[in-house]
Amino acid sequence: MAAYSETVMDHFEHPRNAGEMDAPDGEATVRNPVCGDRMQVMLRIADDRIAKMQWLTRGCPPAIATSSWTSEHVEGWTLAEAEALTREAIAEGIGGLPRDKVHCSVLAADALRKAIADYRARVS
Ligand code: FES
């Protein structure tokens, strides 16, 4: 296995907020065109903030770790703050990624942004 940071391994071995959410307020599924891995994000939203993010990811250790890390960090954020979360910030948050795994941080950022867009479309 590639050399991953302690944070990647911690989130990979002990994923936070994984699993289905009943009747989410917004959701999205994205697929990484590079490798075919998939991530589904489900959001509970209250007062324009993320009350809860859950996810289902079929992918590599960094895909699992970035899903878990993101779900933990965006709780309580405004939608605008969450929309501004970049894949670079996620990759930095998990302690960096090997060069050939940088694309793995795309899933979490994209899925989160699309789930927020889904919520905005539902309430508009
Ligand atoms: Fe597919 Fe990492 S190899 S997201």
Q: Return the axis-axis angle of helices 61-73 and 6-13, rounded to nearest 10°.
A: 90
102 or 43, higher pLDDT? 43
CA of 36 to the centre of ligand 1 (A): 7
pLDDT digits (tens, 9 = 90+) for 22-40: 999 999 999 988 899 999 9
Residue type, 82: A
* Mean pLDDT score of the chain: 95
CA 56/CA 85 separation, integer angstroms? 19
Whether 104 is catalytic: yes
Give the tokens for residue 16: 């936070």
Q: Decide: helix, strand or coil at residue 105.
A: helix
Is pLDDT of 102 > 90? no
Contact 35, 103 (CB under 8 A): yes
> How many residues can be counted in the chain?
124
pLDDT of residue 18: 98
Select which of 82, 104, 106, 109 is catalytic: 104
Hunting for tokens 């590079």 — which residue is that? 34
Is pLDDT of 1 > 80? no
Query: pLDDT tier at 3 (50, 70, 90 boundaries)?
Result: confident
The DSSP bridge partners found for residue 44 are 52
CA of 63 to the centre of ligand 1 (A): 6
Which residues does a 6 A CB cutoff place in the pocket of ligand 1?
Answer: 32, 35, 37, 59-60, 62-63, 101, 104, 107
